Amino acid sequence: MKTYAYGKQSISFGDIWEVVKVLRSPLLTQGPKVKEFEDALCAYTGAKYCVVVANGAAALHLAMLSLELYPGDQAITTPITFAATANSVLYAGGVVKFADVQTDTANIDPIEIVKNITDKTKVLVPVHFAGQSCDMQKIREIADKHNLFVVEDAAQAIGSEYNGHKVGSCKYSDLAIFSFHAVKTVTTGEGGSITTNNKNLYEKLLMLRTHGITRNVNYFTRDEGPWYCEQHVLGFNYRLTDFACALGISQLKRLEGFTKRRREIVEFYKNAFSDDERFGYLTEMPYSKACFHLFPLLINFKKIKSDKKEIFEKLKQKNIHVQVHHIPVYWHPYYQKLGFNHGDCPVAENYYRSAVSLPLYPGLMDADLRYIVDTVKQFC
Ligand SMILES: *Cc1c(COP(=O)(O)O)cnc(C)c1O
């Protein structure tokens, strides 16, 4: 019997062959595929510069470092995200604030952003939850008014559009990050990227990715010879291998197809669960054309016979492995110790209680979707 996870990679023979070719070449890391993948991401998103890194969390970390957060500087993000978003602010020595989300999108609410702005605020970190872009024009307006940077956490949103612009274009932001983790829409196993239109940030990111060391003579204090390089900042080894980049290039060519199928699946689920007071789902806004990463079904637990744990157990017995995205970040004990409390963001908490992510990946056939829908309805 088939088993269904909430997400699953799609690896073609073409993808495999591209990786094999690099494995048989002289350079496994730092070869030509790195720049080729970066150029492909620029061409796809429309951003001027791209730096690929080891994973999405590393991308967020370097994004924050490049903006030079100083101790006490504040960043505002959403609680409905993976912990890495908020962690990256802490890595860089900043302070995190959580702004509540909108009911219909579960994305950060611009009104709540404004409420959280202080004279210490330096960065806004909107997260395009489930693949749907936040209202970036509004967020940019707020940022400009208060002189703030904007970093888009687009880990879930490669392939998506905002008002006709590809997410990652940085039209309304300073930096945008993607994740290429196996469960994300485009995968390199582990991997991530940062796009920007700012040359200065781009050059900082390049240096930070390899220990803070540069081989660019323009930065040198002196030049001792062809072996010479200089470390200028405290960076990391956050490089991505050449064979991972080869997989990324090949996957990126398949992204339009992934987007089409993911949108079809979401349509299927929406039709199947509409007009039923037990169920709801997030709304796609007029400014958005999402390559959906997740389909969170919103279950009205007051109207059904089971609770969330029972539904998880019963679906598991039918080989359907659902998940919940996300536990409000500040509910984690680590964040509770920093002083956050249950009840801080009530809209996010209500969303969390009702949400169950159903399987969503391009390999699902209509027959699979029918089975999943029928089984979910049977247990609710
Ligand atoms: C997956 C994800 C990340 C982290 O990406 P990794 O590649 O797993 O490090 C960060 N933010 C969001 C919103 C994510 O979904």
Q: Are residues 362 and 12 in contact, defined by beta-carbon separation less than 8 angstroms?
A: no
Amino acid at 321: H
Task: Kindly give the number of the ligand 1 atom that is closest to the alpha carbon of 293.
Answer: 15
pLDDT given at position 71: 87
Q: Mark whether 240 and 259 lie in a shared domain.
A: no
pLDDT given at position 5: 95
Residue of 127, 158, 181 to test ligand 1 pocket, by largest number of atoms within 8 Å of CB: 181
Strand order in the sheet with 49-53: 49-53, 192-196, 175-179, 149-153, 121-125, 74-77, 95-98
Q: Are residues 212 and 186 in contact, defined by beta-carbon separation less than 8 angstroms?
A: no
Q: Mark whether 263 and 218 lie in a shared domain.
A: no
SS3 state of residue 220:
coil
> Is 1 contained in some domain?
no
User: DSSP label at 172?
Assistant: S
Q: Mean pLDDT of residues grouped by 10 in the chain (380 residues)? A: 94 98 96 97 98 98 95 96 98 97 98 98 98 98 98 98 98 98 98 98 97 94 95 97 98 98 98 95 98 98 93 97 97 98 97 98 97 95
User: DSSP label at 287?
Assistant: T
Residue where one domain finishes, among candidates 236, 252, 268? 252
Q: Tell whether ligand 1 has an atom less than 6 A from the beta carbon of residue 77.
A: no
> What CATH code is carried by the domain that includes residue 326?
3.90.1150.10
Q: Tell whether ligand 1 has an atom less than 6 A from the beta carbon of residue 125.
A: no
Angle of CA points 62, 179, 143, to nearest 5°: 55
- CA-derived radius of gyration, the chain: 21
Q: Mark whether 228 and 316 lie in a shared domain.
A: no
Q: Mark whether 223 and 371 lie in a shared domain.
A: no
Q: Tell whether ligand 1 has an atom less than 6 A from the beta carbon of residue 55.
A: yes
Q: Tell whether ligand 1 has an atom less than 6 A from the beta carbon of residue 127.
A: yes
Q: Mark whether 22 and 117 lie in a shared domain.
A: yes
SS3 state of residue 19:
helix
Q: Are residues 210 and 239 in contact, defined by beta-carbon separation less than 8 angstroms?
A: yes
Q: Are residues 3 and 315 in contact, defined by beta-carbon separation less than 8 angstroms?
A: no
Residue where one domain finishes, among candidates 252, 272, 298? 252
DSSP calls for 302-344 = GGSSS-HHHHHHHHHHTTB--B-S---GGGSHHHHHTT--TTS
Into how many domains does the chain fold?
Answer: 2
> Is 2 contained in some domain?
no
Residue where one domain finishes, among candidates 252, 287, 313? 252
Q: Which two tokens stand for residue 346?
A: 């009530």
Residue 13: phi and psi, rounded to 5, are -60, -35
Q: Mark whether 346 and 238 lie in a shared domain.
A: no
Q: Tell whether ligand 1 has an atom less than 6 A from the beta carbon of residue 179.
A: yes
DSSP calls for 122-138 = EEEE-B-GGGPPP-HHH
Task: Kindly give the number of the ligand 1 atom that is closest to the alpha carbon of 129.
Answer: 13
pLDDT given at position 1: 80
- Residue-wise pLDDT for 184-219, tens only, equals 999 999 999 999 999 999 999 999 999 999 999 999
Nearest CA to ligand 1 atom 6: 56
> Is 106 contained in some domain?
yes
Q: Mark whether 87 and 165 lie in a shared domain.
A: yes
Angle of CA points 18, 43, 29, to nearest 5°: 40
* Ligand 1: centre distance to CA 84 (Å): 6
User: DSSP label at 282?
Assistant: P
Q: Mark whether 322 and 214 lie in a shared domain.
A: no
Q: Mark whether 65 and 175 lie in a shared domain.
A: yes
pTM of the model: 0.98
Axis crossing angle, helix 255-273 with helix 366-379, rounded to the nearest 10: 40
Q: Are residues 232 and 219 in contact, defined by beta-carbon separation less than 8 angstroms?
A: yes
> Is 229 contained in some domain?
yes
Amino acid at 274: S
* Ligand 1: centre distance to CA 269 (Å): 25
Q: Mark whether 238 and 364 lie in a shared domain.
A: no
> Is 353 contained in some domain?
yes
Q: Tell whether ligand 1 has an atom less than 6 A from the beta carbon of residue 82.
A: yes
> Is 3 contained in some domain?
no
pLDDT given at position 305: 86
CA distance 64 to 48: 19
- Give the chain's count of helices (H) and strands (E): 13, 15
Q: Mark whether 41 and 162 lie in a shared domain.
A: yes
Single out the residue of 265, 261, 257, 260 nearest to residue 281, CA to CA: 265
> What CATH code is carried by the domain that includes residue 26?
3.40.640.10
Q: Are residues 123 and 147 in contact, defined by beta-carbon separation less than 8 angstroms?
A: no
- Residue-wise pLDDT for 87-98, tens only, equals 999 999 999 999
CA distance 125 to 136: 11
Mapping DSSP onto H, E and C, the string for 56-72 reads: HHHHHHHHHHHCCCCCC
pLDDT given at position 297: 98
Nearest CA to ligand 1 atom 2: 155
> Is 7 contained in some domain?
no
Task: Kindly give the number of the ligand 1 atom that is closest to the alpha carbon of 180.
Answer: 7
Q: Tell whether ligand 1 has an atom less than 6 A from the beta carbon of residue 105.
A: no
Q: Tell whether ligand 1 has an atom less than 6 A from the beta carbon of residue 328.
A: no
CA distance 298 to 340: 25
Q: Mark whether 298 and 222 lie in a shared domain.
A: no
Q: Are residues 202 and 79 in contact, defined by beta-carbon separation less than 8 angstroms?
A: no
Strand order in the sheet with 355-358: 279-281, 295-299, 355-358
> Is 26 contained in some domain?
yes
| Structural domain that includes position 277 | 255-379
